Structure formats: structure tokens, C-alpha cells
Amino acid sequence: MKGLFKVTTRTIVAAGIGAALFALLFMYVKVPSPVPETSFQTAYGLSAFFGALFGPIAAALMSFIGHALSDAVQYGSPWWSWVIASGVSGFIYGFAFKRSKVEEGVFTWKDILTFNVIQIIGNIIAWIIVAPVLDILIYAEPVNLVF
């Protein structure tokens, strides 16, 4: 875990560039789903990729800032419970940083499996726990609506 939470110039630059790319992908590059009014967001794939390359701090910042920017531009104000959940998901994706050898140019089947397990855990925590709980706490949404 040593070095996992180290903030360097590289981390800040990655977070800044990542946030801009995240916001653009979040607004304009979506894959339609069979569920009405729903789409798959490609921005989270970028967040996971940046998490594996730059660690949890960069991925959390890029997801949080990118989602907040996108919401602010599109809707006038961010939906904070989901913005925070995006940051949490990015943070968890970043745990793939030390568990793989992506930085060395090696990505084995074991690394792919580890990377995807970490992504699944991040999505479960962010979207099944954090986002609904924050919807209830921040926006006083009814429990039966969010769960």
C-alpha cells in the first residue's frame, strides 16, 4: 500500500486531464441500453483505466470533478449524491494500480481478472450503497424509491 495514496504532479495532471475527458465522455459518448431513458456511460471505463495507471487519488478526483462539471454544464447544478458516488467508484478502481503491472507494460490474465473484480466491487459499493444512501441523506428521497 506504500505509495498508493501519494499525490505527485503526475497525479494532479492525470486528474485534471482525466476530469476534462470524463466530462466530455459523460456528456457525449454513451451507449444506449435496452432500458428506456438509460445508457451505459463510457466515462467510467476511462476512470477505471486512469485508476489502474495513476492510482486511487487521480481516479477519484477525475471522476468527482468530471461528473460535477458535466452535471453543472448539462443541468445547471450537480446531483451531489451521484457525483460523490462517482468519486468513490474511481477511488476504488484505483486499487488496481498496485495490484497489476500495467505501468510496466504487462497486463496478464490474472491482472485482467483482478482489475475486473476491483471494478465490480467499486460499482457495487458506489451505486448500490453510496448513491442511494446519499440520495436519502442529502435530498430526503424516500427509501422505497432509491432501494
Which residues neighbour 87 within 8 Å (Cβ) at sequence distance 6 or greater?
Answer: 60, 61, 63, 64, 67
pLDDT value at residue 92: 96
Query: So what's the pLDDT on residue 147?
Result: 82
Give the chain's end-to-end CA distance (angstroms, integer): 34
pLDDT score of 25 more than 70 = yes
Residue length of the chain: 147
* pLDDT tier, 1 (very low <50, low <70, confident <90, very high otherwise): low
| Per-residue confidence (pLDDT) for residue 113, from 0 to 100 | 94
Q: Where are the alpha helices (DSSP H) in 29-55?
A: 43-54
- The pTM of the whole model exceeds 0.85: yes
**Rounded percentage of the chain residues whose pLDDT exceeds 90:** 84
Distance CA 47, CA 17 (A): 11
Q: Contact 77/113 with Cβ under 8 angstroms?
A: no
Task: Give the confidence band of 102 by pLDDT, cuts at 50, 70, 90.
Answer: confident
Q: State mean pLDDT over 15-23.
A: 98
CB atoms within 10 A of CB 71: 20
